[in-house]
Structure 1
Amino acid sequence: MKLKFKVQPYQTAAVEAVRDCFTGQPPAAPVRYRIDPGSAPASEPAPRQVGMFGDEPPPVDAGFRNADVMLSAAQLLENIQTVQRHQNLPQSAAMVVDKKTGCAINLDIEMETGTGKTYCYLKSMFELNRCYGWSKFIVVVPSIAIREGVFKSLEITADHFLREYGKKARAFIYNSKQLHELESFSSDAGINVMVINVQAFNSTAKDNRRIYEELDDFQSRRPIDVIKANRPILILDEPQKMEGEKTLKSLSEFKPLMIMRYSATHKTEYNKIHRLDALDAYNQKLVKKISVRGITVKGLTGTNAYLYLEGIETSPSKPPIARTELEIKQGNGIKRVMRKLGRNDNLFDLSGGLDQYKGFVVSDIDARTNTLSFSNGKEVSAGEATGNVDEAAMRRIQIREAIRAHLEKEQTLFPQGVKVLTLFFIDEVAKYRQYDASDEVPGEYARIFEEEYASQLNELKTLLEPEYTAYLNGIAAQNTHAGYFSIDRKTKRLVDPATGRRSTETDDVDAYDLILKDKERLLSLTEPVRFIFSHSALREGWDNPNVFVICALKHSDNTISRRQEVGRGLRLSVNQNGDRMDNPITVHEINELTVVASESYRDFVNALQKDISNSLSARPRIADEAYFTGKVLKTSTGDLEVTPLIAKQIYRYLAKNDYTDDYDKITDAYHTAKKEDQLVELPPELQPYTEQVFALIDSVFSEAQLPTIGDDRMAKTNALNKNFEKQEFQALWGKINQKAAYTVHFDTDELIKKCVQALDNELRVTPMKYLIERGTQIDKAKHEDLQAGSAFRVLETTREEYQHSVHSAVRYDLIGKLAEATQLTRRTIASILTGINEVVFGQFRTNPEDFIAKAAMLIGEQKATAIVEHIAYDPVDERYNSDIFTTEKPRDDLSKAFEARRHVYDYVFTDSKNERRFVEELDASAEVVVYAKMPKGFFIPTPVGNYNPDWAIAFQAGKVKHIYFVAETKGSMSSLDLRAIEQSKIDCARKFFARITSDQVRYDVVDSYGKLMDLVG
């Protein structure tokens, strides 16, 4: 497998922002200079030091450094302001100089984690080389993990950039013991990239100080002097982690031509020329969406009863069931066991008589709110653990939830060729791996993982698709998880990261081969590792795109933000071909990151939202005239600057429609209206720029813009949303949820006559045939294409009809089979069969099964036609409960569902292209208030089988008037294209709704939304 890269507009924008800062810089080849050869032997004169070569030929030890920036400070500032203005960023009043490094040119590029900032700065190198000839670049990173990730990115993007730029970069990792790489860095005229971590030049360790020392094995030169002679362009990856005074002073030793800083969270800002923050990334669907499985520990008053509610299972044919873990008394003691609970289950009895469960009788299981209620008034929500919950119990619950989340995602994504990875963060190696006198043994978490993994597979094995089952069966539990930690080079054992003054570079350098260097192998379905345990140090620098579940099995760490915790899983996933799964329609249905948190869902989400909000501090918060004035609207004919008059019009529009409050902050009303496509139109003079104006308004931050973070347990149920509670839908539901019984009278003799006629005219049974193949044995040596084990080749095949009677071998109850299939009496069926032509009946002997199936269909159609004219419906004392909207088991794969705004569920599943087009137009219509695709549990009884209509729709016909409609969608409106039974069900439905709703609800069949609107009028 090989990862594929493509040109993305949002990444190109980041590259062009850097390039355009130097508009006017003359393109030039790298400046040649004489490399300092170091101390010469005493018998030879020292080489003459020269600067520019002019026309003289370069000496053998020529070096190539970056050309100086030829732009004046004023020109450079003007370029930067132009770039900032083009993106509506705050403009720099002057060039911000980094006094600690002494560098005059400092550019900030803000890019959210997971959007490809490494790719962007690598591409920027090629772009700067093509436009201006600069070729010496140094990427400075804060850790070895990031260093390895960057170097891997250089490797896997090489062919991609070769196709685009016709060049390959020469890249290497700085190593004080391999200084020949510095010689090549200086003497090579092409693009050269050195990757270095701060410890390599900012540590007191002996090896790390070599960069500043005159070395005998480097001709008595200092490596830093050779580096600075190249006037390199420094690229700081995660600069906020390299702002110590000592580090910045060390960076000044590189004598950089400029410094470019790439991060999602800049701590110190210089000249920001590009911004792609968390809000932009999420709204543009450039990263995964986030869901959370929170775990809440709470006590039940007056009891020590341990109870954990994992979730609620629903079924279309059974009441909801609660998956619960409780304590049960067994012969060898009390154990915690998973049990499925139904209504009226008594925990005291189930536990084997444990007193702590007295009074715990299940009174209600609510699938809509994911809660389990007991007769004693206690209530537990999904994800809540009660009673005696120690740390070991909490970690087991977390591991179990992570495995379940993993398997749920894997079932959906496996057919699409997407491998699912789960990442566990732990606080010490001993929890995962321990060592005794002879060998390594699993730690506590490894043992728990294998137990829970086996338990989950055992529970799921009968529900899985055969191909996915075979995949799981081919992976042993002990082979599907692995630990990635520092390695002690002497003992070869896993160790925790070193603390204090000791450097961990030599320990870590070989630790992450699979996870960092062999990224493609880890993404392959042939690689068994799917669950990764690692120390928190892996939190930075590792960017495998297929992490779908993250679980932190560690104590809360206030120094680590929730945003950092989820950062390793935000990148969009890839399939087995290396293609990124970034289709705008399905991107967030496929790419969903689940975080299994050791705190409540609400607490985790609030903390994460706060982190995201704080990261957006640079965004404007006030939408006043001053903010809009001078901004740029990008149009097809060029950029349009917002004049004071246009700014006043935008401001008045917002204020007039209550889209801003008294403090000129954007209100929730604006974002709600925009989401529901109900925004008031802009004034006529602004309408040519509608899209651009709203984009400008959206750049003003408000809390309502923060990404929605769902509860993972609820996400998979495609839960009912607020549309279900709308009074229009409740009114419609109240009119159609009445149950009814039907009566029907028809002439049996007339039915028999019509059935005989239909069978004589239309019953054509396919004779049974058999295949004859003739072949010969061949010489396999002459036919290398033969499959293993094949020694014959087929030369001829023929098909012949079976002319003899089949029924003599198998006894058939023909009358009984037809009576069962058509719901007619045996007497009526016998009369029909005795009446048909002998030749027609004789077909039964040649293929009994086909005869029964086709005869039943034809008789059923005649029955349907005969009875529908005489059917009558009468209400009964029973109505459909709204529970039918939640008891139906949802489909897990949302990737092909339609994400709706006016539907009672968040997603709509369609059964055909025609139905998909219908729902797209239905959902976009301003006339539609709310609609629902009817659940299978809602049906109308008919003599030819239950009928389930497709859609219930409430239209807005005026300020207070509504039109209620039930629609059936068909690909064709022609009655000739509908089978008789289908047409009969539809005719029955017309009579049902006319009788039950007294014509307050219209019912009809449509083939498009346009036809529906014609009927609505």
Structure 2
Amino acid sequence: MVINTQAFAARGADARRIHQELDHFGSRRPIDIISQTKPIIIIDEPQSVGIEGSVTLKSMEDFQPLFTLRYSATHLEEYNKIYRLDALDAYNKKLVKKIQVKGINLKGSTGTTGYLYLEYISLSANKAPLAYLEYEKRSGNSVKRVREKIAQGTDLYEVSGNLPAYKNCLVTEVNGYLNKIVVNGQDIYPGDIINDKDELAFRRIQIRETILSHLQKEKYLFEKGIKVLSLFFIDSVEKYRKYDEMGEEVLGEYAQIFEEEYKNAINQFVDLFHQEYTDYVIETDVNKTSKMYAPGNYLDYLKRDDADRVHNGYFSIDKKGKPIDPTIKRGSEDSDDVSAYDLIMKDKERLLSFEEPTRFIFSHSALKEGWDNPNVFQICALKNADGGSQTRRRQEVGRGMRLCVDKRGIRQDFELVGEQVHDINVLTVIASESYEDFAKGLQTEIAKSLKDRPMKADAKFFLGKLLTNELGESIRITDEEAKKLNKFLYKHDILDEDDKITPEGKELIEKNQVPVPEHLVAFATEVSKLLQSIYNGDGLTPEDDRKTIPLTVNKNFAKKEFQELWKKISLKTVYEVKFDTDKLIKESTIRINADLHISDRKYEIKTGEMWEMDKNMLKEGNAIYVTKTDSKKLSSDLYTQVAYDIVGEIEAITNLKRTTIVAILKSIKENQFFLLRKNPEEFIAKCAKLINETKASLIINNIAYHKTEESFDAKTVFTNAKNVLRSDEILKKHIYDFLETDSKVEREFTKNLEQAVEVVVYAKLPKGFYIATPVANYSPDWAIVLDNEKVKHIYFVAETKGSENENDLRGIEKLKVHCAKEHFKTISNGEVKFDVIRTYAKLLDIAQLK
């Protein structure tokens, strides 16, 4: 018998008959007769039936089943599994569609709106809740959107780099219990977006890219008799369909955008692909063919239906038949409403027919599983990513993973089409976030859902693993060491011939008594943990191997030689400068008129595809790879009502008088000044930069430094270092064990410093150590002490750049270098050498070997 869940919970007269004594059952209860057969109960999608103790499951106990089978991809409650087909097996066996991802990045934020997006609130048992907040932040000459964890009391004006749009914006409350934050008295909940003028432009791009992907795929599959569908997820029905004051149905903003973009796309597509298509025919006899329904060619099919006929919405409906947002229980991501589900299920076969004009479906993102259509080839979520969800991306993709069928209902699987299965069955996800975020997140979610797979402890497994013991000592296993360790473990019966752990080996692993080569004795416990990860499913991943660690100074910091150097370079100075103001105004005006350029706003579409994969590829984020990038100009209204003190902003960056700034701005061409409207933040930053470069060229030979009584505190400068990634090896001469370099030049220079016998100790100088200059504070790269028995000059401060020629440096950089030389000459009487170098060999030339 087949019975639905509603029947179990029903209380009507018909529902009670199964528990009543009936004449035609020989005065017996139907439930007793059924239960005596010891039936086998099969539950499809048990997470929808209810949890243990629910009315439905209690009613099932009356059947006294021999056993119960539960079929689901997303069990809420874990039971003994007898078979598991996970996402990895399904994909590699070509039982589901191949995944393609289109991510969208908006380039060049204006920073003028006070944009905020609350992704989620992070809770901790021991710490105050933190808000994962996206906002706009100054970065050099541009403004970028960043996502950071924000604590209660944070001043958004300060953390944004003093963007005027965030003036007086204070996070006064981060409330984990009520799941909200308060900014200037306004409640903001996860998923809320505040002051985003770009959001509608972003949604338009998503809709446009979905339509383009749809048409390209449809053109390919049309002649195969396969109807292509696209699915849009939205979080509010009003964005698709709403009602005016008279109760008449009108289009929501997303439906309006869709029809506009569809008309444009169709016109472009018809012009671009104006060619003949063969009629779609099926063979009914050896010598006879007959035409099944399809237009004479694909272009006829495109032209047949207007934009308003190709899309439709499937939503829950109220008693008056109007669409409404579904009811979602607290703590759930799915809706319990069945009206939209029933509507889609009733239309399922009709949607697969070419006669039905609907090809684009709008529906609520919270609809339950089971309604998915096999011919969904594009999925687009017109809503922001829910950072608090651990399965969001996998669930979105899951709505379109089933292999498609043709007009006759024949599944286009491997048995039918062979190796073409993943050419035909490709699901494109137009993400609501960047390609990198979606691809990484999807792979992580899939990897977490996979069943454990037996791994081998071969040399490849050990290669590159970072082992850190209780003393903080670290070693990264090289290729040669990995091979030796593998052979050693086989020789001592920890591994068998197939590199699998033996029963005896497992016993020693559990006792932490695994024999290891002599050079790894200090890391024996870590080797045991590594081997244990093979059979307990907690394998180490590169992401964990290179996790960030806090920096603390080591014994080199206390060396007498470094402390002597620090005494000489820690003194502070002030500078005195003279220049011709009128000449500065004139030359700055010329530079701005000639060189000021404000970038057009762009967006980048990055496309990636999934290939044959394994669990490690998913963990490492290598299962999806980029196949194409495409940048396009963004046209949108960037008008801002934020009041800017343009003169004050440029004054703060250049340290010039307001009257000088006003004179420069009044002198530039009108068309250059109007670039301010395009992007105020970029205009201010680039004008200030051009003025500073002009100033630098005028004052480079007219600046003097004077020593003060103040000095930098070593404890403040060197103990507030940020967290860094572990490097491949522990440094021996640096004042920290690890070092994060910014370029290939710096990496090579570090390697040379470590190897050179002349080097006693060195430090990569933090940004907290700086020299005041007329254009900006300047932080040199390196402080180095050389062996006084080997070189003439032992104290060195260096700046590493790609070129050692000062003439190759830009005006501002050249001034900074000049200022640094004058500064160190003043505070050390020539004892500390400063210069721009590219290689260690250049440093030795200046230091002069004895």
Q: Same-fold call, TM > 0.5?
A: no
Q: TM-score range by the shorter chain?
A: 0.3 to 0.5
Q: TM-score if structure 1 supplies the norm length?
A: 0.34
Structure showing greater radius of gyration is 1
Higher relative contact order (CA 8 A, sep 6+): 2
